[in-house]
């Protein structure tokens, strides 16, 4: 009898607990995100060490590390207009040293898993001006990066490296041999991007006088092809993909002297069938 009473009491307890639980629906989980934890991502620390910025609702907002409170809107993309009078959507951004200028990436498109191309703009906080990094008719750009002194921006377009002198409003072409499917300058081939997880194939020297960069010769790398569904007919996509035992890209490292406009190859040894990650 005593055992029976314990069983009845346990059942009553379970029933009471179940009755108090709210109903959980698939909409709560996958549409309303009711149980999704709060988080913050893509924060950029500011040079004072006390604040960070976050891109939210097409604006770069400044927050306090100490309190978590928003201090100000550093730049509102909804108030920016490009050279044709269109609103600028901020997809990403990169401050110069001293945070006097910021690179804005807009109309971002993916290339592979990590790589992207976009149209870039330079916003000058002192002059309150928005300037395109390059002529849009020349094509989209990649990997735009300020020189350490903030006077120049290097970027990649169609497998070649360019430098924009912001003070002279002058675009300088660093490499000229870049060809789709053959030569890559300043960024990486598919293998390096996928297996080593990076696409930034150039670096400024600390004094802003040189740029070191990767050059990939993938002329002998065999192609792999994939069939994709199209709107009406499927289409074939091809890319360079070395399988085990096949030729990889021949990778060399170069250094460009910004003032002399000359490039030299760096000594990485005689062996060419290597990785330089």
Give the pLDDT score at 23: 86
**DSSP structure string for 179-198:** BTTTEEESS--HHIIIII--
User: Could you tell me whether strands 44-45 and 116-124 are parallel, antiparallel, or unpaired per DSSP bridges?
Assistant: unpaired
CB 133 within 8 A of CB 164: yes
What is the four-CA torsion angle of 150, 44, 60, 36, rounded to 10 degrees? 160
CB 56 within 8 A of CB 89: no
Cα gap 111→54, rounded to integer Å: 25
CB 252 within 8 A of CB 268: yes
Give the pLDDT score at 65: 95
Cα gap 140→107, rounded to integer Å: 9
Give the pLDDT score at 10: 60
Token pair recorded at residue 208? 């802003």
Cα gap 181→218, rounded to integer Å: 7
Give the pLDDT score at 33: 87
**DSSP structure string for 96-136:** PTTSSEEEEEEEEEESSSS-EEEEEEEEETTTTEEEESS-G
Rounded mean pLDDT for each run of 10 residues along the chain, 277 residues in total? 62 55 86 83 90 94 95 94 90 95 95 92 94 94 96 97 95 96 95 93 97 97 92 91 93 96 95 90
User: Would you tell me how many other CB atoms lie within 10 Å of the CB of residue 187?
Assistant: 24
Token pair recorded at residue 12? 């009553």
Give the pLDDT score at 39: 73
Residue that has been written with the tokens 């346990």 in this structure: 10
CB 55 within 8 A of CB 64: no
Token pair recorded at residue 261? 């406009």
Give the pLDDT score at 4: 63
- CA angle 197-154-40, nearest 5°? 50
CB 144 within 8 A of CB 155: yes
Token pair recorded at residue 75? 């730049």
């Amino acid at each position: 009898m005593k055992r029976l009473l314990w069983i009845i009491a346990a059942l009553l307890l379970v029933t009471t607990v179940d009755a108090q639980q709210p109903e959980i629906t698939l909409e709560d989980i996958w549409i309303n995100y009711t149980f999704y934890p709060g988080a913050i991502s893509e924060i950029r620390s500011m040079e004072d060490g006390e604040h960070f910025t976050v891109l939210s609702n097409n604006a770069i907002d400044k927050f306090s590390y100490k309190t978590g409170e928003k201090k100000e809107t550093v730049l509102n993309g909804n108030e920016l207009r490009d050279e044709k009078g269109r609103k600028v959507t901020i997809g990403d951004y990169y401050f110069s040293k001293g945070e006097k200028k910021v690179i804005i990436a807009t109309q971002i498109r993916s290339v592979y898993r990590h790589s992207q191309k976009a149209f870039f703009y330079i916003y000058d906080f002192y002059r309150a001006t928005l300037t395109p990094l390059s002529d849009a008719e020349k094509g989209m750009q990649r990997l735009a990066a300020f020189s350490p002194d903030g006077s120049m921006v290097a970027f990649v377009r169609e497998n070649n490296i360019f430098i924009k002198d912001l003070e002279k409003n002058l675009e300088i072409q660093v490499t000229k041999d870049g060809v789709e499917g053959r030569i890559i300058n300043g960024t990486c081939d598919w293998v390096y991007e996928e297996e080593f997880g990076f696409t930034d194939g150039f670096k400024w020297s600390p004094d802003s006088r040189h740029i070191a960069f990767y050059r990939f010769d993938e002329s002998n790398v065999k192609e792999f092809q994939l069939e994709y569904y199209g709107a009406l007919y499927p289409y074939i996509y091809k890319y360079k993909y070395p399988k085990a035992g096949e030729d990889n890209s021949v990778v060399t490292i170069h250094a460009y002297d910004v003032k002399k406009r000359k490039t030299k190859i760096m000594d990485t040894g005689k062996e060419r069938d290597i990785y330089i990650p």
